[in-house]
Each structure stands twice: as C-alpha cells, then as structure tokens.
Amino acid sequence: MRRRRPWATFSLILINALVFVWQFASGDLDANVYTLIGHGALLGELVLRGQWWRIVTGAFEHANLLHIALNMFALYQVGTFVELIAGSRRMLALYFISMLGSGLAVTYFSPDAPTVGASGAIFGLFGALVAIGIRLGKDGRSLIGQTLPIIGINLALGFAIPNISQAAHVGGLVSGFVSGLALFMLQRRRAVASEEIEAHELAEDPGAALVGSAAEAGDGREGAEEEPQ
C-alpha cells in the first residue's frame, strides 16, 4: 500500500507558521508580556475568568523565531511518526487532547505565568508514542526505549532553562499518554468485535459471509488507505 503524506502534521505546522507571520506583522514578537497576553497568550487567571479560548490561541503562538523553529522541528519529527502509526485523524485527536491537558495544567498549576507555544501538545505526542509501545507489547519495547530518553532530556532542559513551563510539558505528556492508551484500547476492542461478528456470520451462513467478504475486497480499496495503521 502506498504511504500517504502526513497531511495532519503539515497542516499543524502551517497553522503555527501563519500565526507566527501574523504575530510578526502585528509587532508581537519579542514584545513585553502584556502584548503577548493581548494577542491571546495563555494566562490561567484569565482562563478561570471565562477566557477558555486562550488554551487554543496560546498553543499556536510563539515568543520568537528560535522558539517556533525548535517546536516545528520537533512537531515534524514526532508528528509524522505518530501519524504514520496511528493515522491522521487519531494523530489530530491526540494533539488537541494533549493541547487541552497542557493548557489546563498551566491554568491550575501556574495561573499567573503567561504561556505560549506548541510544546505541550508536542510532549503529548511523545507520551502517545510510549502508550503505543505499551499496547504493542514486545514489539513496542524498542519504541519505548527510544522515546523515554528524549522525554527525559527535554524535561531536564525545562528545569535547567528559565521561562519554560514545566506545567505545560508535564500536562501535555500525561494527557497524550492517557489518551493514547484509550484510543488504542478502543481500536483493539472494535477489531475484536468485528472479528466476532464475522465468525458468527460465517457459522450461520458460510456462503453469504464469503460473498460479503469478496464484495468488500472489491469495493473498499480506497477506504483501506484512509487510515494507515
């Protein structure tokens, strides 16, 4: 089967880039904290007053060119890999769930710290990779072994470098891990249920089941490529 392009990852990178261009055009970059807040940065105190949209807008803003460059490189690396394994729609679901978890962590644990950047959601994708590795069993040990050191290094850098929101990183990481486990658990249950239904149909009417399988094989080739596993 031909490998599809990771359109979800590229779309997220494009949205972040467009927001960055808008920030540049509006004089938001390297400005004071009040300008960032005025343009939609995440600030827990304001979120708790009803401005929940800041969880989303803050995750697509960045402080400067180096900030967005590092985040988009990381998003490209881990996003394309998660999308290849989980499919585009699941990757987007994991990203936005991680974004929400990251934003809520900042809101409740660092309510007075203005926060911008995609790193919380990106940490969530790393967490999802660990969850995928666990669900794969023995085949996923290598994936876990490669992912955990990356997570550890980035968490350590967060403590060593000032002005990095550890609440955002840890919140995204935990959200991505939990949602990754949940998504793949549901996927496995659906696969088992489908196999049970097919077995029941085969036992009741072997001829009809075989005819149905042949029809699906002939008509469903495009659908098979829609969600690469």
Residues labelled catalytic: 119, 169
DSSP 3-state assignment of 42?
strand
SS3 string of 162-228? CCCCHHHHHHHHHHHHHHHHHHHHHHHHHHHHHHHHHHHHHHHCHHHHHHHHHHHHHHCHHHHHHCC
DSSP three-state, residue 61: coil
The residues, any chain, with a CB within 8 Å of residue 89's CB and separated by 6 or more, are 8, 227
CB 10 within 8 A of CB 75: no
φ, ψ of residue 86 in degrees (nearest 5): -100, -20
